[in-house]
Amino acid sequence: MPPLMTWLTNTEAGRLVFTGLVSMLPVVELRGGIPFGVALGLRHWDAFLAAVLGNLVPVPFIMLFARRFLQWLRRFPRLDGFVRRIERKAHLKGRRVRKYRWFGLCLFVAVPLPGTGAWTGALIAAFLNMRIKSALPSILLGVLIAGFLILGLTYGFTSL
């Protein structure tokens, strides 16, 4: 096994970093990161903390650069359909958020279902032109709520 993988799986610090990295991935986010960290051998609260921090790292970058990045991708004709699908999804999911603004964004991120989470919440905030200083606390609170829900489920399954 390569030394990096050995470090990521055999040391406490490595398992924390690995859990944070997994939680940065779109779709997986902390919903997969917390169970992953516990499966690696982390204590539940350590996995929770690493997953929450890892899940939040991409949020400001998504909010700042998502629209510019998608605009850049439009320059490639083969990717235009992909960009349109992402924008359509963000706008459709943003309808619910638009009505309640920061509270709606928090609830949207908090629901631990596919298609919700910090990545999609940050995209929605970017497309609704929400300011980072109001959207980021909403996303943080939503991530914490989702994290507690997933932590409870993970703890329940591991204590059986």
Q: Give the predicted TM-score (pTM) of the model.
A: 0.88
Q: How many independent structural domains does the chain possess?
A: 1
Helices (H), the chain: 3-10, 12-23, 29-40, 44-56, 58-73, 80-110, 118-127, 132-158
Q: What are 103-123's pLDDT values in tens digits?
A: 999 999 999 888 889 999 999
- Residue 24 DSSP class: T
Residue length of the chain: 160
The parent domain of residue 14 ranges over 3-158
Q: What are 29-79's pLDDT values in tens digits?
A: 999 999 999 999 999 999 999 999 999 999 999 999 988 998 898 889 888
